Structure 1
Amino acid sequence: MVALILILVGCNSGKKGEAAAEQKNPKCKVETSLFGMTPEGDSVMLYTLKNEQDITVTITNYGGIITGIYIPDKNGKTTNITLGFDNLEQYLAGHPNFGALIGRYGNRIANARFSLDGETYTLAANNGNNSLHGGVKGFDDVTWVPEVISCDERAALRLSYLSVDGEEGYPGNLSVTVTYELLMDQLFITYEAECDKATVLNLTNHAYFNLAGEGSIRDHILYI
């Protein structure tokens, strides 16, 4: 089973946007391919993380979306256990945040406003009178700066984004870094953020899972 875990990690950075990281372990690698173009003309890439357990994770720098998690079942058959689309155009057409990074604030902020340190901030409303998952143009709807990470035993990708002061109504210039690491049979996602002003923040990932790959999930058993 693939686990989504928040941890802090340390690796040697490679060049931003490079096609692949040089790995000492040839089975732990990151491959890069063109995923599409945004209406603004930004190139969007697809990063394929692979490891020696024959697990593959595909991530695009548009919205930091996890487009696929491919794992072998007990019989060795590889299945994509997360929901998503095959091309960028389908994501641009609108979707329920399949696999995307959510920010600045995951979930709803009632009446699209909040008060902090004696000041009230009015946010972009996109869910009736509320602000949902960061507003009209949240972190799921922007192109992040990619950086392939070179490590001996893990395939990793780091994405960075600067959310400027006032974006969607939020205060402060917020610098965000999200690192995805595929290590053994686990996918680690690390969130780091710094802001030059007091603000609110609630970062998360919005992946959907079907451990059968397709069909109904009604026979799944979840332990909490």
Structure 2
Amino acid sequence: MENELQDKVKVERGVLNSWYMEVQRTKDEADKYRKHRERTLGHESQLHLAMKEIEQLRVALRQAEEHAHYQSYDAPSELIDLLKRTYHIEEIAFEVKRRSAESAMLAAKDQMNKISKMQRGFFGAVRIAHTGCMDNISELISSAKQRLAIVQDECEEREKRWNRISSILDREDLINYSSSLSSTTMPISGNQYLSGISHTPSNNGINNSLSSGDYLC
């Protein structure tokens, strides 16, 4: 019985070493494409090498999946608890960043509405035209929309990454979707925040039409 166990351990170690060498070879191949791409100047050549690199990484990922299925790996409870804690901390940090980006956009919208109301009067329109207020509002909105776009990208990346981890470990309970902030409070695009901005007619040739796609006076 003891000899059988020893033989089984040797076989599993052999398979593990063989798998590791194959994955490492594939990763080395991907690194070769990456280094070549970094030394290449042409955009088309860089894209071609990037696609080659991605393909090698996909191969390595498939090999890792096959090994995981072969080993029938059961993650220890301590690891699952740590992953759940990490997911929860990421969730809190993401929500803070999302709220901050949304607040920045709402503040820019509020300032834009105030400028819009001021433009309705002749003296207000003249004063605004000579102070560069609209340029400042344009910068605020552009910055806020960029922050929202970054939050959106992070949300999508985070969701894909944790779904992948959950799938690899075969633990559907790893992510608690009922409390997931990324699925219940998805970030909103800047255009949706700007949709309620008031529009006023032109005064003395000054353009007061303010829309989400036109930030300049």
Relative contact order higher in (CA < 8 Å, ≥ 6 apart) = 1
TM-score between both structures, scaled by the size of structure 2: 0.19
TM-score (norm 1): 0.19
Higher strand residue share: 1
Q: Whose Rg is larger?
A: 2
